[in-house]
Amino acid sequence: MESSLSSAGISFNTFPGTLKLSLTLSNWNFSSPSNTLHIHLSLNIQPSITNISQSTSGNITTFTLLSSNILNSTINMLHLGIADNTSIIPIQFFLNSSSPLGSENNSTLDLELVIPSFSSSFHYDPDFSVTFLGGNGEGDGGGSNLLPLLALIALIIPVFFLLLAVVACVFFGQRQRIAAATHAVNFKNEEEAVNL
């Protein structure tokens, strides 16, 4: 279910499959008010990214990362953060790929946040989402796509059959032991048993 959130005076929606990341920094000592803090987040995405698109709406920039028409990763970056619990200030961000798109089994991206100087604290609220795409290359994070369900079923079915095989072996093993005990032949002579 979609939900609406707000940060730094910017309202935005989150969808199923969204990972909310809130970044709060405090007591960072800047040597000068003109200095900035650069934070690098390394993103390792598998399968490899084949296309990156960027769009901006209001104070939100959306990076859409398409991985072989299977996976759609979305990063929503707010243009503003909250400094010292009172001031709403702009930030900068950059998304760079360390390898050519689609060249390997996975892609590594560097998401750089450039935080301006603050006195006591800074709060920033981006979000990340992953959507499994259907056959038409479009997905909304929920509803009709059965790929996650199929993956779960592919894990559960072999475990079920393995458990069934163990139960069957134990059951038939006990049955054979009981049958062997009831059909046992006594080779002792009955006269010897009486004379003892």
Both 52 and 120 in a single domain? yes
Q: Is 10 inside a domain boundary? A: yes
Both 91 and 126 in a single domain? yes
Both 167 and 87 in a single domain? no
Both 160 and 110 in a single domain? no
Both 126 and 97 in a single domain? yes
Both 139 and 178 in a single domain? no
Q: Is 169 inside a domain boundary? A: yes
- What's the pLDDT at 136? 46
Nearest CA to 142 out of 17, 13, 5 is that of 17
Both 98 and 175 in a single domain? no
Both 14 and 64 in a single domain? yes
| Residue 130: C-alpha distances to residues 18, 37, 42, 114 (Å) | 7, 28, 16, 24
Number of domains in the chain: 2
Sequence-ordered alpha helix ranges (H) in the chain: 147-182, 190-195
Domain of 162 in residue numbering reads as 152-186
Nearest CA to 36 out of 77, 6, 81 is that of 81
Positions in the chain short of pLDDT 50 = 135-144
Both 32 and 113 in a single domain? yes
Q: Is 194 inside a domain boundary? A: no
- What's the pLDDT at 141? 45
Q: Is 193 inside a domain boundary? A: no
- Both tokens of 44, joined, read 């390792």
Both 91 and 125 in a single domain? yes
